[in-house]
Amino acid sequence: MLAADEYQILSVDAPNVAPDELKTAIRWRLKDMLDYRVDDATVDVLDIPVDKNAPARNHQMYAIAARNQMIEDRQKLFETARVPLRVIDIPEMAQRNIAALLEPEARGLAMLSFSDEGGLLTITHEGELFLSRRIDVSADQLADDSPDARQRAYDRVTLELQRSLDHFDRQYHYVTMSSLMLAPLATSASELRDYLSSNLYLPVEHVALDKILDLSAVPALRSASEQQRHFLTIGAALRHEEKAL
C-alpha cells in the first residue's frame, strides 16, 4: 500500500470514450495536473457512480497517479524478498473495504481514521468510494498533552468534516448519509467522538474491528492502539475486486 506522499488522487470528468481507450484519455487529462511528465506516471482510474434515477450526464472519476520510478522501486523490494506482488493499493481503497462491512443498506457512510500521516476521510455508498479528503491533523496531535492543543486539532478536524459533508450533500444529494464512523484511536477516542457529535449533524460512532472481523488468531489486535496501527493494513487485506476499469 502506498503512503500518502507517494501518489495523487485527482477528480476528473469522465471522458466519453470506449472502455479500452479510457486510461489513455485520462492520461491526456492529467498532463497539466501533475508536477511531472505524464509519461513518467503509472495511472489507474476509479469510477464514481451516478444517480441511477437521474438523466444521463457527465460524471466524475478518480484518477490515481504515481511516479513510475516509485512503483518500480516498490516492485523490486518484493522481487528481492521473493514475495509475489499482485496489487499495489492506496489507503482510500483500504478504508473503503472496511466501510463496506459497516454500511447500512441503501445509505452512505463516512469514515474517519488517523495515523502519523494525518487524517483520512472517506464517504462510501453501496461499496463504492464517492469522496476522500486528507486532513492535516495527525494522531499525535489529537493525543497532545495540552488541552488547548487538542482543542485546536479538534476544531481543524471539525471544520474540514463540515466542509466535506456540505460538499458531498450538494454533489451527491441522492445519497442519504447514515453516520460517521471513527476508526480506532489509541487515546482521546471518546473525547474526540463527543466533540464531533456536538458539532456535526451525523451520529458519530466508534469502529470496533473485533465486532466485524474475527481477530481471535491475533490477540494483540484486541487493543485500540494496535487496531489503530494496523487499521489500513487490515483494510488492504480485505480487498476483493470483481471488476476493473
Write out the three cell numbers for 49.
Answer: 457512480
Looking at every residue in the chain, the average pLDDT score rounds to: 92
Count CB neighbours of 156 within 10 A.
15
Average pLDDT over residues 57-75: 92
Q: What percentage of the chain reaches a pLDDT higher than 70? A: 96
Domains and CATH numbers, the chain: 4-81 (3.30.420.380), 91-237 (3.30.420.40)
Q: For 21-41, what is each residue's pLDDT tens digit?
A: 898 999 999 999 999 999 999
Instruction: List, as one string, the DSSP characters of the chain.
Output: ---GGG-EEEEEEPP-S-GGGHHHHHHHHHTTTSSS-GGGEEEEEEE----TTSPP---EEEEEEEEHHHHHHHHHHHHHHT--------HHHHHHHHHTTTPPTT-EEEEEEEETTEEEEEEEETTEEEEEEEES--HHHHT-S-HHHHHHHHHHHHHHHHHHHHHHHHHTTTS-EEEEEEPP-SSSHHHHHHHHHTT-SS-EEE--HHHHS--TT-GGGGSHHHHHHHHHHHHHHT---S---
Q: Is the pLDDT confidence value at 245 over 80?
A: no
pLDDT: is 195 or 23 the higher one?
Answer: 195
Nearest CA to 196 out of 110, 78, 97, 72 is that of: 110
Residue 54 has pLDDT above 80, yes or no: no
Report the pLDDT averaged over residues 109-123. 96
pLDDT at residue 87 above 70? yes
Specify whether the CB–CB gap between 156 and 199 falls below 8 A. no
For residues 80-84, average pLDDT: 96
pLDDT value of residue 194: 96
